[in-house]
């Protein structure tokens, strides 16, 4: 089968409607939507009996290894609306040295840094942009801590859609530069990501752009759920015992939980579910606080700060969906301090040669903490999500030099 078969062969689609995640109210598919009338995220629903008849594991196994292999479980109906930059299935990488040092049976990292624009944000934005193209949207706007803006800029430019992006003033320079270079207009804002989001919301009425903020449109969840589809397939249609996921807006955690349900309903997996662990930084942990208090919603976290900027999200519109998935899976929410994140990043780089991003390092720090306090057993298969390439973040300077004009003490090297 050709490398681009998933992008060039027509396949049946099975979207039936959209549904308010809070009230269950139905909304018509193939129309422009943001939040529901209740102000909550909309979920895409499928004719899963139809999917079950149309797709089997053998057929899927023959398809090229990219995100679009799951077309029957995705919302884009027409080939001409698919926007792609080559979204390969991301690898599961074993960490045997660290697992042995911790006395653990199996530790795996799903490395999302291999995706276009270097982060898992590509998954959600590819679907949002493809659907925007299908629905005739010509101008999109969003707030970002960096990586989501880069993904939106790249895919929207590919689709010929104008983009305006707002980011906190301390967003890493590499992110701001790549957003602008890839065709967007980007502005730094003296505030946090939710402050940027308010500007996007205000501008929607003034300018008429489409708000593609996290969970304020239906399709980023559908892109992110492919992490769960891939993970189950990579484990021979099984699921891990526990998943550690860096949680800001939480789209991926919500999406994976949806994916596992859909896979069971089409007969690809059984009823077993991984325990979902929402990982946050101690300096911005609204989900952890809400989970510990047994609450359904997570009030805004004031004075949010962390070196893991991707999870510096003071308040999430999908808070109840994150907490619901954590509780239904018998998982938990956990916060780790910045010093533990940095130690985790250094440890994995020097022990396994694997460069995590700070948000990914937070999941390893959380895993170690959960092993130590007994919330995760050492015989459980754990998967950590590294959500972006570590090369996008500041790296420690190296000042060691050799003067080639002077004698070299090779024994000291």
Asked whether the predicted pLDDT for residue 379 surpasses 90, the reply is: yes
- Please compute the mean of the pLDDT values over residues 264-270 and round it to a whole number: 98
Asked whether the predicted pLDDT for residue 176 surpasses 90, the reply is: yes
- Please compute the mean of the pLDDT values over residues 352-365 and round it to a whole number: 98
- C-beta contacts of 191-195 below 8 A and 24+ residues apart: 192/168, 192/304, 192/312, 192/314, 193/143, 193/144, 193/145, 193/167, 193/168, 193/312, 193/313, 193/314, 194/143, 194/300, 194/313, 194/314, 194/315, 195/143, 195/168
pLDDT in tens, 218-266: 999 999 999 999 999 999 999 999 999 999 999 999 999 999 999 999 9
Asked whether the predicted pLDDT for residue 5 surpasses 90, the reply is: yes
**Is the Cβ–Cβ distance between 388 and 120 less than 8 Å?**
yes
The overall average pLDDT reported for the chain is 97
Coil, strand, or helix at residue 168?
Answer: strand
Asked whether the predicted pLDDT for residue 1 surpasses 90, the reply is: no
- Please compute the mean of the pLDDT values over residues 68-76 and round it to a whole number: 98
Helix axes 286-293, 319-328, angle to 10 degrees: 50
* pTM, full prediction: 0.96
Backbone φ and ψ for 162, nearest 5 degrees, come out as: -75, 145
% of the chain surpassing 70 pLDDT? 100
Name the DSSP class of 282.
T
HSE-up of residue 17 (Cα within 13 Å, Cβ side): 9
Nearest to 254 by CA among 293, 282, 214, 284: 214
- Please compute the mean of the pLDDT values over residues 143-172 and round it to a whole number: 96
Residue 262 and residue 85: Cα distance in Å, rounded?
26
- Please compute the mean of the pLDDT values over residues 45-70 and round it to a whole number: 98
HSE-up of residue 281 (Cα within 13 Å, Cβ side): 25
Residue 113 and residue 68: Cα distance in Å, rounded?
18
**What pLDDT does 245 receive?**
98
**What pLDDT does 193 receive?**
95
3-state helix, strand, coil in the chain (%, to 5): 45, 15, 40
Nearest to 73 by CA among 214, 241, 232: 232
Please name the fold of domain 92-116+222-392.
Rossmann fold (3.40.50)
Nearest to 166 by CA among 143, 193, 194, 191: 143
Tokens of 404: 């080639």
Residue 224 and residue 148: Cα distance in Å, rounded?
12
Q: Which residues pair with 280 in a beta bridge?
A: 335
- Please compute the mean of the pLDDT values over residues 2-24 and round it to a whole number: 97
Give the pLDDT band of residue 276 (cuts 50, 70, 90).
very high
- Please compute the mean of the pLDDT values over residues 9-31 and round it to a whole number: 97
- Domain edges within the chain: 92-116+222-392
% of the chain surpassing 90 pLDDT? 99
- Please compute the mean of the pLDDT values over residues 71-77 and round it to a whole number: 98
Asked whether the predicted pLDDT for residue 116 surpasses 90, the reply is: yes
**What pLDDT does 388 receive?**
97
């Amino acid at each position: 089968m050709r490398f681009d078969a998933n992008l060039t062969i027509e396949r049946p689609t099975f979207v039936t409607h959209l549904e308010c995640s809070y009230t269950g109210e139905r909304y018509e598919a193939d129309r422009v939507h943001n939040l529901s009338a209740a102000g909550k995220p909309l979920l895409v629903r499928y004719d899963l009996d139809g999917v079950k008849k149309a797709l089997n594991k053998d057929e899927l196994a023959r398809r090229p290894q990219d995100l679009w292999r799951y077309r029957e479980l995705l919302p884009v109906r027409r080939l001409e609306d698919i926007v792609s930059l080559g979204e390969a299935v991301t690898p599961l990488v074993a960490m045997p040295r660290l697992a042995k040092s911790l006395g653990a049976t199996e530790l795996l990292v799903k490395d999302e840094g291999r995706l276009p624009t270097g982060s898992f944000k590509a998954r959600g934005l590819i679907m949002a942009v493809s659907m925007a193209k299908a629905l005739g949207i010509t101008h999109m706007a969003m707030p970002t801590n960096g990586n989501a803006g880069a993904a939106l800029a790249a895919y929207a430019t590919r689709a010929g859609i104008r983009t305006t992006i707002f980011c906190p003033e301390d967003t890493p320079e590499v992110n701001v530069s790549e957003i602008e270079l890839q065709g967007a207009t980007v502005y730094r804002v003296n505030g946090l990501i939710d402050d940027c989001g308010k500007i996007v919301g205000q501008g929607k009425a003034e300018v008429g752009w489409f708000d593609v903020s996290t969970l304020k449109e239906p399709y980023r969840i559908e892109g992110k759920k492919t992490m769960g589809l891939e993970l189950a397939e990579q484990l021979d249609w099984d699921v891990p015992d526990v998943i550690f996921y860096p949680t800001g807006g939480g789209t991926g955690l919500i999406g994976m939980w949806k994916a596992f349900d859909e896979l069971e309903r089409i007969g690809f997996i059984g009823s077993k579910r991984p325990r979902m662990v929402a990982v946050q930084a101690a300096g911005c942990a609204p989900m952890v606080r809400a989970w510990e208090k047994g609450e359904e919603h997570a009030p805004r976290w004031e004075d949010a700060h962390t070196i893991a900027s991707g999870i510096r999200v003071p308040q999430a519109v999908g808070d109840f969906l994150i907490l619901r998935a954590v509780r239904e899976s018998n998982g938990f929410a956990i916060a780790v301090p910045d010093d533990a994140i940095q130690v985790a990043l250094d440890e994995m780089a020097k022990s396994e040669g694997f460069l995590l991003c700070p948000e990914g390092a937070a999941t390893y720090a959380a895993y170690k903490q959960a092993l130590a306090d007994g919330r995760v057993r050492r015989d459980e298969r754990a998967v950590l999500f590294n959500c972006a390439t570590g090369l996008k973040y500041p790296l420690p300077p190296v000042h060691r030099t050799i003067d080639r004009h002077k004698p070299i003490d090779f024994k000291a090297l």
